[in-house]
Amino acid sequence: MLTIGEFSRLTRTTPRMLRHYDALGLLHPDTVGENGYRYYRQEQLSDLVRIQWLSGYGFALHEIGPLLGLGDGALLSRLHQRREALRRELEQMIKKGERAKQRLAEANLRL
């Protein structure tokens, strides 16, 4: 068993974030001692890595909980959907940037 401090050092996650994940139902400590200390199993490291990976892929924490319960095929489908949504968002941002560039060029011509 790892204390919350040991677990946080191994994963480079703050104890505060681990408590937050617990409160959200994403990652519960394996046991909580009578003293209130939280203990994690080494096997839970892969759960935390998955949470961090999904967060890094752009999913909000409230979206991650349901994703953790999906099988590989369903998760892969959701990842493809997320990638497509990010691509569309990027295209919109590029268009906005191009419009801003055009407006600045037009404004400079008038000055």
pTM for the whole structure: 0.77
SS3 34: coil
Tokens of 11: 């994963």
Quick one: pLDDT band at residue 60, thresholds 50, 70, 90?
Answer: very high
SS3 10: helix
Q: What is the reported pLDDT for 110?
A: 67
Cβ distance 75 to 65 under 8 Å?
Answer: no
Q: How many CB atoms lie within 10 A of CB 51?
A: 23
Which pLDDT tens digit goes with each residue over 66-111? 999 999 999 999 999 999 999 999 999 999 999 999 999 888 766 6
